[in-house]
Amino acid sequence: MAETNATSSLTLQGRVAIVTGGAGGIGSAVSKHLASLGARVAVAYFGDPAPVRELVVGINATHGADPPRALAVHADVSDAAQVRALFDVAAAAFGGELHILVTTAAVLDFSYPTLAETSEASYDAMFGTNARGTFLCCREAANRLARDGRGRIVTFSSSGVGSLRPGYAAYAASKAAVEVMTRILARELRGTGITANAVAPGSTATPMFYNGKTPEEADRYIAEAPLGRLGLPEDIAPLVGFLASNAGGWVNAQVLRCNGGTI
């Protein structure tokens, strides 16, 4: 059967993507989805290597490992030298040209019920990964992604920026910084053919969401959801695939809430 225009505009065949936070629930779903669309994916992780290595093995088993469709790269995105090395490794492994950056790496510390009780260490951890890490990755991408109309930057904010939920002050502030940074970056990239957008998921059933919450607290989020459930990583990944593809090429400088209508 001939490929339809809609299908062909979504393909990522021949493109190289870097996904940070690849060991996380959303990051792993995004990595799988981009690979399924034809991209070769450098999956960046920080911490335990086992989950991301299993992810990469699974992607290569599904889509072919010669040449590999995915590889794992250890990188602390809050460290500029490690971010540069991440881009270097991805370029060297996949033929030199880079097209897509997706920054799902994030830290959420829900240990403190109010801003007044939040520790400086918690604040620094969230801003270090969420804001500084996004800045460093975007800076590298702005200088290194292909400028042939296929360059795509997809950052990750949070619908928590708009919900103003107590306990999330530092986290939401770090994600608000991401939104502003991304929208300004899109304007600064005028003439390069690179787009920059932010995806802002709502409450999503990942280990990061459940960490620090009692079952009763998690149930309250479900009770508030218009669709009667938490989001799934697989609900988020197709939006990223769209933004990374030719089909999403006219979407730029936007923050896209992907939250089932929770706010």
Q: How far is CA 27 from the centre of its chain?
A: 6
Question: For residues 222 and 211, what is the distance between their CA atoms, to the nearest angstrom?
Answer: 16
| Phi (first) and psi of residue 94, to 5 degrees | -115, 25
Catalytic residues: 171
Q: Which long-range contacts (CB under 8 A, 24 or more apart) does 220-228 make?
A: 224/262, 225/260, 225/261, 225/262, 226/260, 226/261, 226/262, 227/260, 227/261
Question: For residues 16 and 223, what is the distance between their CA atoms, to the nearest angstrom?
Answer: 40
Q: How far is CA 135 from the centre of its chain?
A: 13
Q: How far is CA 153 from the centre of its chain?
A: 9
β-partners of residue 42 are 18, 71
β-partners of residue 154 are 102, 197
With a CB cutoff of 8 Å and minimum separation 6, the contacts of 52 are: 22, 23, 28, 43, 45, 72
| Phi (first) and psi of residue 254, to 5 degrees | -115, 155
Residue 50: CB atoms within 10 A of its CB come to 10
